[in-house]
């Protein structure tokens, strides 16, 4: 299991950022997995990616699960993993882009941590996902249309649970992680 329960700092500068969970939501190609890793590194937290956790537990890849169990089967697994992971402490969690489609997952994400929505325009999502064959929903003749469709449905869901909406257009993934820390807790790091 993950060694995620670190002692909370005890001095008077202790703040929410240093003691609570951080949950990243947003569409495919927003950078949740990449930025989440940097965030955890900068904050000295455990990083968990919900998709990787599903793959670890099943011993199967996401495309394989979609192929054998359909999207519905994958969503059931994803919902179960989100329920468990959001109950942990002091983690940075990168969710999959469709995790917010389950109402129970939205409730857990909103209630159990600070939710950051990495807002990303569709053109940038396309650029960041075009070389990767591991996203079953984008293996179509027109991935851009699919991403646009999905964002129309999901953008209100991301916003409904987000404590902060962060635009991911500028800067490297690490710079974005630094920016997120400043947004959440301006005095946390210099």
Ligand X SMILES: Nc1ncnc2c1ncn2[C@@H]1O[C@H](COP(=O)(O)OP(=O)(O)O)[C@@H](O)[C@H]1O
Ligand Y SMILES: O=C(O)C1=C[C@@H](OP(=O)(O)O)[C@@H](O)[C@H](O)C1
| Residue ranges at the known binding site | 29-34, 51, 75, 97, 135, 154
Strands 46-49 and 114-119, sheet pairing: unpaired
Among 28, 43, 161, 166, binds ligand X (CB under 6 A): 28
Give the footprint of ligand X on residues 46-85 (CB under 6 A).
none
Which of 15-23, 24-32, 78-86, 105-113 is the region at the interface with ligand X (rule: CB under 6 A)? 24-32
Rounded to whole angstroms, the Cα distance separating 86 from 134 reads 24
Q: Which residues are annotated as a binding site for ATP?
A: 29-34, 135
As measured in angstroms, the least distance from the Cβ of 118 to Mg ion is 10
Rounded to whole angstroms, the Cα distance separating 173 from 63 reads 25
As measured in angstroms, the least distance from the Cβ of 82 to ligand Y is 11
Distances (CA, A) of 23 to 4, 63, 82, 93, 183: 14, 24, 10, 5, 14
Segment holding 169, helix H or strand E = none
Residues near ligand X, by CB under 6 A: 26, 28-35, 94, 128, 168, 172-173, 176
């Amino acid at each position: 299991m993950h060694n995620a329960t670190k002692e909370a700092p005890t001095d008077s500068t202790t703040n929410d950022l240093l003691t609570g969970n951080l949950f990243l939501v947003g569409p495919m190609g927003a950078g949740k997995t990449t930025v989440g890793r940097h965030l955890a590194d900068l904050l000295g937290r455990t990083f968990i990616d919900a998709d990787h956790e599903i793959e670890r537990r099943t011993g199967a890849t996401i495309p394989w699960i979609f192929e054998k169990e359909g999207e519905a089967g994958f969503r059931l697994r994803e919902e179960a993993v989100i329920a468990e992971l959001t109950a942990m402490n002091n983690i940075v969690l990168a969710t999959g882009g469709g995790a917010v489609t389950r109402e129970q997952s939205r409730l857990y994400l909103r209630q159990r941590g600070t939710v950051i929505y990495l807002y990303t325009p569709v053109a940038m999502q396309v650029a960041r996902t075009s070389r990767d064959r591991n996203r079953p929903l984008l293996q179509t003749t027109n991935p851009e249309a699919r991403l646009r469709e999905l964002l129309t449905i999901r953008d209100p869901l991301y916003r409904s649970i987000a404590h902060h909406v962060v635009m991911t257009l500028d800067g490297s993934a690490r710079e974005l992680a630094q920016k997120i820390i400043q947004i959440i807790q301006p005095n946390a790091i210099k």
